[in-house]
Structure 1
């Protein structure tokens, strides 16, 4: 009996499929970045109602945000280093899968302990952006890389601006579990698209993974960020908070000593000590501080009751729509950021972005009563954030060897996260200190909001100065041959021939 002859795909069809996957690389990676930001934002509209829905206290419910912050801060540099060593595509898909699993857990349960655990799993998605930027460096030719990296960096703000109104609409008109089912479906789609479109980067940094360094970094960051995030609730002078800060100092001192002596450290501190890298990380921390105040304060300001004399009493849905123009602006301005970086260099783009952020806060100080001025000021801050966030990874890519791009960008994202955590604590302290009772409930005064804007604007100016202090220089080794073809592209083309 004759055996059926397998039908092989013609070479032209295989080549066409390969080209389609190559064209989809940037959109798929950007989709993953937007998903990550959406996942971090969707729980915000739920926070006022979660105590009633779960039977937990308000302090316990706040851990649905804190757990994501802590796990993201810890896992971002760790997964970045793992991507450099074991494969960036593998780490990217794993992070998206953990994020999706967290959504499924949230959709299936109303138990607060399960929700906190699930949100901690979702924190792994914070590594999506730095790992994706590293993939773009390895796979794209130089003429496409700048705009792609700028878009990837902007996905953080785009996703946040989209996630808040989306979550608010679902929470207002449907069961709150529906929101997590929706994000689970989107996450599963992201995993499938990444599996189909993203090729494994051939650029690797061989060696043994620094387990002790990873544990030390995790312990130090947990002590630091837990102290910063809970200081307002536990009391900044309480023994628990002081003990956490002292433990963070001790752990980081030992970790630093170990990293300098490790053969293959988790974070190359000698590389970080170079001004081009170190000042980029400082600028990331300051920019993260300045950026986060915009979203945090705007949301509270427009929802303040009209009895305050300045509040607009907007719903959470309307609040999200107020932030939406900023997200659209970030999408539109990311190509401009790439062109400025190509023409003037990324440090000029970063300095310009920080200066624009400061101008945005000047607008907020000038008028925070009229809705259109509030939206205009928030959009100007978002524009500056686009320029700054798009320039930061380009600075890192130009300053570190190809084999360390994911881990170095992971540290840069970590510095942004720390800046955001410090911003949240500082803004909360200012607003609590400048509050007055309205209907028997303490509400921040307009003066407190203006002080918060002034503080964020001042930090943005310091970030501008740090950016201008970054020395220039040529990019280190590029993972592509002289003809500009990504390493591994020839091998893939030969496989498809």
Structure 2
């Protein structure tokens, strides 16, 4: 156990926020990228797609390598990729270099999972619930705060400063990790599964390409359908291989336990619901007032109004921990989903005044803080200690797939349900209402899924949060050589 638990928590949360910031830094810049990089809007969208795909591929691999070679070592490697990617993006003068830099940044997407795993290794059990709650919500906090920060820098300073800022924060985080985070002298060791990693990575590339670019290529087009089919075939092959290999990339026997499987399913649906408030409100606030439902606010003001959601996420982290300790993480997840349903339901009915959008943002942020704080506890109480990083990474991957799907579905609905205002084609009021109702439905589905998560994991007496290492490993089947 570490002698400086508060410092360790603060440093790892800073790392999580730093990495999640870079995922939203580019959003306010997207409309200007075609001009800045001399390309088309369709090609400029690869600035987001490249990061999503690189993150999806790296998350499970990073988690497994961390369990094998040491979490601190892999965490520092991820931060090094983030620094290199930020510098490459800031110095780029063409789309190719810009996209390459964004892909390098995406490799760091798994650090929140690593942070949660490090907390499990180095904190006393009574501190773990609150610490993992804060660490888990750092993903949402960084995303919420990244939009106003990047909008301010993009509007009032040079756009390259965005990425120099991201690189500087990553460098600072790396120094603090070296100084504060303990490292194991002997990593647990084991064997990496390169064939499993290749098959799973290929499946994820196909899946994320189809989801993120399906709206551009056509959802019924041959390329999109072929990518979906390829992803399905590769996942089937991957599953068959993982069940036969002694040291798999992802232990499917553990992943199919009801508590893990249902938590990951809820995370996927919840990730879909989480992102929609940022996507919808940012556009709605910048809509012209001539439309009758817009606010004609600047890019910076539209981004600034996302900040209350991030503040509420932070505020709800200790509440999530309290509910987890007293009633179990399942109750905290269900409470969070219920609050998000109320937030989006309210916004679907009332979104014509700024205070109404702020209320929704606060409710959604509060619900995310409650739910995200509970997910690591649900996962870690059902997996062996030596699979903590890999299991949390898979949960993080499910969230990422949900947010990517949300971006694609939101873009499709806003584009197809449009109207003309002052000679410009813009999303209609019905489009915004439909997207908000879709988000509420997704949160409601997450609530239903969470209701079926077992109240307590069987065969353990270690309490609702975490089983002891020996208790978990005692019930873990040994792989056949």
Same fold judged by TM-score > 0.5?
Answer: yes
Show the counterpart of 1:196.
179
TM-score norm. by structure 2 comes to 0.94
Equivalent residue runs for 1:354-373 within 5 Å? 354-373=337-356
Indicate which of 468, 473, 476 corresponds to 1:478. 468
Show the counterpart of 2:423.
440
Whether contact under 8 Å (1:138, 1:203) holds in the other structure is no
Show the counterpart of 1:301.
284
Whether contact under 8 Å (1:100, 1:122) holds in the other structure is yes
Q: Is 1:415 paired with 2:405?
A: no
Cα distance in structure 2, aligned partners of 1:354 and 1:205? 37
Equivalent residue runs for 1:103-118 within 5 Å? 103-118=86-101
- CA distance 1:172–1:406, shift in 2 (3 Å): same
Instruction: Give deviations 1:147-174, integer Å, cap 9, x for gaps.
Output: 1100001111211122111111111111
Q: Is 1:377 paired with 2:360?
A: yes
Equivalent residue runs for 1:170-181 within 5 Å? 170-181=153-164
Compute the RMSD of aligned alpha carbons: 1.5
Structure 1 residue 124: deviation in Å?
Answer: 1.5
Cα distance in structure 2, aligned partners of 1:256 and 1:373? 46
Number of residue equivalences: 463
Q: Is 1:126 paired with 2:109?
A: yes
Cα distance in structure 2, aligned partners of 1:428 and 1:172? 24
Whether contact under 8 Å (2:384, 2:469) holds in the other structure is no
Q: Is 1:332 paired with 2:322?
A: no
Structure 1 residue 201: deviation in Å?
Answer: 4.6
Instruction: Give deviations 1:456-476, integer Å, cap 9, x for gaps.
Output: 111111111111101122456
Cα distance in structure 1, aligned partners of 2:339 and 2:249? 35
Q: Is 1:292 paired with 2:282?
A: no
Q: Is 1:33 paired with 2:16?
A: yes
Instruction: Give deviations 1:390-436, integer Å, cap 9, x for gaps.
Output: 11111001110111010000000000011111111112222222111
- CA distance 1:202–1:460, shift in 2 (3 Å): farther
- CA distance 1:274–1:340, shift in 2 (3 Å): same
- CA distance 1:333–1:477, shift in 2 (3 Å): closer
Show the counterpart of 1:77.
60
Structure 1 residue 348: deviation in Å?
Answer: 0.7
Show the counterpart of 2:370.
387
TM-score norm. by structure 1 comes to 0.91
Equivalent residue runs for 1:128-143 within 5 Å? 128-143=111-126
Secondary structure at 1:443 match in 2? strand
Whether contact under 8 Å (1:203, 1:402) holds in the other structure is no
Cα distance in structure 1, aligned partners of 2:402 and 2:230? 20
Secondary structure at 1:399 match in 2? coil
Q: Is 1:210 paired with 2:193?
A: yes
Indicate which of 434, 459, 467 corresponds to 2:442. 459
Whether contact under 8 Å (1:135, 1:201) holds in the other structure is no
Structure 1 residue 177: deviation in Å?
Answer: 1.1
Cα distance in structure 2, aligned partners of 1:173 and 1:406? 40
Whether contact under 8 Å (1:210, 1:264) holds in the other structure is yes
Whether contact under 8 Å (2:81, 2:104) holds in the other structure is yes
Show the counterpart of 1:226.
209
Whether contact under 8 Å (1:139, 1:201) holds in the other structure is no
Query: Whose Rg is larger?
Result: 1
Indicate which of 316, 324, 328 corresponds to 2:299. 316
- CA distance 1:168–1:367, shift in 2 (3 Å): same
Indicate which of 404, 428, 433 corresponds to 1:450. 433
Structure 1 residue 281: deviation in Å?
Answer: 0.6
Cα distance in structure 2, aligned partners of 1:382 and 1:208? 40
Unmatched runs of 5 consecutive residues or more in structure 2: 472-481
Structure 1 residue 480: deviation in Å?
Answer: 9.0
Cα distance in structure 1, aligned partners of 2:429 and 2:20? 29
Secondary structure at 2:295 match in 1? coil
Cα distance in structure 1, aligned partners of 2:467 and 2:338? 31
Secondary structure at 2:31 match in 1? coil
Show the counterpart of 2:476.
none
Show the counterpart of 2:27.
44
Whether contact under 8 Å (1:434, 1:448) holds in the other structure is yes
Structure 1 residue 205: deviation in Å?
Answer: 5.1
Secondary structure at 1:208 match in 2? coil
Indicate which of 244, 261, 267 corresponds to 2:227. 244
Structure 1 residue 298: deviation in Å?
Answer: 1.2
Cα distance in structure 2, aligned partners of 1:440 and 1:69? 34
Cα distance in structure 2, aligned partners of 1:443 and 1:106? 31
